[in-house]
Amino acid sequence: ARFERNDYTGNEFLPNARLAWKLAPDHLLWSAVSRAVRAPSRLDHDAFVPGSPPYLLDGGAGVRSEIATVYEVGYRGRPVRRVSYSVTAFHADYDHLRSQEIDASGTFLFFGNEMEGTTRGVEMWATYQAAQNWRLSGGATFLDTDLRRKPGSTDPVGPRALGNDPSYQWLLRSALDLTPKHEIDITVRRVGALPNPAVPAYTAVDARLGWRFHKNAELSLALQNLIGDAHPEFAQLNVQSEYGRTVFLELLWRPSSR
């Protein structure tokens, strides 16, 4: 367990419990239950818009910590020497999520904690050592989010302002050592659409070529977003930045330790 103290909500208690069972030397089943807290920041407590009365947003003098109780169960194993993988299922219950409530006077907003909800999903990762100098890896995450206002909440926006996460993400990566001094990595990744603000799903391919020309130095060339048109990744339509093809050249030097 961990104890924390902050100036806004006082003491916070964050316990967790874990249990693992080694089914065989290369197979592990585990589970965990944890309590996590996001304590208020100064922005939550002391935000005023505009800077002097009359306010449209009158801070959050009574704002409290957001709480998550997270349940996890997972398995990781290595069925053969060259293959390893893991699968984790998770479920989280959220309470006291930050909201913007309308004051009884109807003339301004203030920060409250009148939203709750759940998330659930599965995360999977695997690695295959295809050869001594070639490793293949991949992973995927699937997420379902259900957030809602509590009874009595006057938040005009509701959960649309929270939980703007993709329902899935996956990637595949190839790491190949061409020679003892040359390596090439290629990654294909797919990110699902964001619901609000709406951002389309996209697929990206990245590549990196590295050259260790000295025991302490490495030169690398990285290429990002090799296929398709430029794409946005987050933010509202009127302020979205689009990411297109990008080239990076990097020189890395590691001084010898004495």
Mean of the pLDDT values across residues 13-34? Answer: 96
121 within 8 A of 90, measured Cβ to Cβ: yes
Q: Which helix (H) or strand (E) holds 42?
A: helix 42-46
Question: Residue 43: pLDDT above 70?
Answer: yes
Q: Determine whether 115 is exposed, middle or buried from the number of CB atoms within 10 Å of its CB (0-12, 13-18, 19+).
A: buried
Rounded-to-integer distance, Cα 150 and Cα 256, Å: 59
Mean of the pLDDT values across residues 175-193? Answer: 95
Mean of the pLDDT values across residues 67-75? Answer: 98
Neighbouring C-alpha atoms within 13 Å toward the C-beta of 106: 0
Q: Which two tokens stand for residue 116?
A: 């709750």
pLDDT in tens, 77-106: 999 999 999 999 999 999 999 999 999 999
236 within 8 A of 201, measured Cβ to Cβ: no
| pLDDT range class, residue 223, cuts 50, 70, 90 | very high
Is the pTM here over 0.95, yes or no?
no
Of all residues in the chain, what percent carry a pLDDT higher than 70?
98
DSSP letter at 194?
B
Q: Which two tokens stand for residue 27?
A: 């197979």
